[in-house]
Structures are given as structure tokens and as C-alpha cells.
């Protein structure tokens, strides 16, 4: 019986699996094909992050919450449950609300991220109308969950500048607060929506 000749490429080798020759790429070649840097914009500032597991690199397993807090020093984004149940870590990605504890940083290449720190006017330092409405309506107590709630509300107002109370309640249904009723929060969001129209 003659053996069949398998064509080999420079990027792989043939492997015999159950009597069948299969072409498999070398793991080293696969790793080289992956990107070694990502680019993202956070609160209007461009960042280039080197991917890796050495000091000053972003590990491929790092969440966006970790990168925002630990690498970029933006501690306004809070981590509470760390499994996507409470909404405290909510940020905007291309104006859509995302749970930063459930989003890998490497998934954010080319994205625009906005955190609670990015809502105020960078030139005048004036708070966003939504932030001011939360102060005016005392829509917080300990404040730990407030950044996530504000960011979820901001995503709603991007999509629907004139929401009903039911729209607000639905948009905030993924945000959990242990210390207040959401009545003041709903009032604050409704007041902000009237101001930005």
C-alpha cells in the first residue's frame, strides 16, 4: 500500500488522526495572527493598549471594568456583583449601555467608551443635565450604584429623548440599588429628559 503525499503549507503540518491526515496550523503561527494592540476612545481620549500578560499590558482576560479602573484610573465605574446582575458597572459603548464587568477589553477595539467621568462638559466642567437632575432630586443615598444608573439612563436618552415613566423603569430594570426606592431616580431622569429636549 502506497502512502498518499499530503501537501504542506509553510504555516502548518500534517497530523494523522484516526488514519486520516489533517493539516493543522502551528499554534505559534495562530498566536502571531492575533492583534497585539487595541485602540479605543474613552471619554474622548484615544488609547492604545498593548495586549499581553506582562506589566503595563492588558491581559486578554481583563474585563473593560478592570481596564477602566485599574489601567486607566477611572474609578467612577463601580464593580459590585462582578457577574452582570446589578448594573453598577454600566458604561456606554458607542452610546449603548453595556455591562463592563461582562465585556472583555479586547472586544472594545475601535469602540467609543463613555464612563460617568466623561459626561461632564470637558471645557466648562459643567455637569451633564442628567447628573444635575440626580443632585436636584436627591436620587441617591450611598451613591455606589448611581454611576451605573446614570449611564443606563443616558443610553435611554440617546435612543429616546422623550421617554415615558414606563420607558425609564424598563431601561433601569437591570440596575439594582439596595438603599433607595427608584421613585427619585425616575423623577430625575424625567426632569433631565425635559431639559435636553
What domains can be seen in the chain, in order of their start residue?
Answer: 35-196 (3.10.20.30)
- State which H helix or E strand residue 193 sits in: helix 183-196
Q: How many CA atoms lie within 13 A of 43 on its CB side?
A: 17
Query: Mutual orientation of helices 183-196 and 129-136 as an angle, nearest 10°?
Result: 140
Average pLDDT over residues 66-84: 96
Report the share of the chain in percent with pLDDT over 70.
82
Cα 140 to Cα 169: distance, rounded to the nearest angstrom: 16
Dihedral, CA atoms, 110, 116, 119, 124, nearest 10 degrees?
Answer: -120
Cα first-last separation, the chain: 81
Question: Can you point out the beta strands (E) in 54-117?
Answer: 90-93, 96-99, 112-114
Residue 22 in this model has a pLDDT that exceeds 60: no
Average pLDDT over residues 19-34: 48
Nine-digit cell string for 94 = 458607542
Grid coordinates belonging to 146? 448611581
**pLDDT band at 6, cuts 50/70/90?**
very low
CA atoms within 13 A on the CB side of 4: 9
Q: What is the mean pLDDT of the chain?
A: 87
158 class by beta-carbon count within 10 Å (0-12 exposed, 13-18 middle, 19+ buried):
middle
Band (pLDDT 50/70/90 cuts) for residue 16 is: low
Per-residue pLDDT at 5: 45
Q: Answer yes or no: are the C-beta atoms of 133 and 195 closer than 8 Å.
A: yes
Q: Report the 10 Å Cβ neighbour count for 84.
A: 13
Task: Tell me the C-alpha distance between 57 and 193, whole Å.
Answer: 40
Residues β-bridged to residue 40: 47
Amino acid at each position: 500500500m502506497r502512502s498518499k503525499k499530503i501537501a504542506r503549507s509553510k504555516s502548518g503540518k500534517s497530523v494523522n488522526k484516526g488514519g486520516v491526515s489533517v493539516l493543522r496550523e502551528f499554534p505559534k503561527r495562530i498566536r502571531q495572527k492575533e492583534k497585539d494592540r487595541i485602540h479605543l476612545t474613552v471619554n474622548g481620549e484615544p488609547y492604545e493598549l498593548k495586549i499581553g500578560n506582562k506589566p503595563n499590558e492588558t491581559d486578554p482576560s481583563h474585563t473593560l471594568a478592570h481596564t477602566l479602573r485599574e489601567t486607566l484610573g477611572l474609578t467612577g465605574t463601580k464593580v459590585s456583583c462582578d457577574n452582570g446582575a446589578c448594573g453598577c458597572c454600566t458604561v456606554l459603548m458607542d452610546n449603548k449601555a453595556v455591562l463592563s464587568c461582562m465585556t472583555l477589553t479586547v472586544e472594545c477595539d475601535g469602540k467609543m467608551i463613555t464612563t460617568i467621568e466623561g459626561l461632564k462638559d470637558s471645557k466648562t466642567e459643567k455637569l451633564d443635565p442628567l447628573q444635575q437632575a440626580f443632585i436636584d432630586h436627591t436620587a441617591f443615598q450611598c451613591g455606589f450604584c448611581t454611576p451605573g444608573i446614570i449611564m443606563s439612563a443616558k443610553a435611554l436618552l440617546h435612543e429616546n429623548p422623550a421617554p415615558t415613566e414606563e420607558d425609564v423603569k424598563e431601561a433601569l430594570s437591570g440596575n439594582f440599588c439596595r438603599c433607595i426606592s427608584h421613585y427619585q431616580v425616575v423623577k430625575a431622569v424625567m426632569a433631565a429628559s425635559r431639559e435636553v429636549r
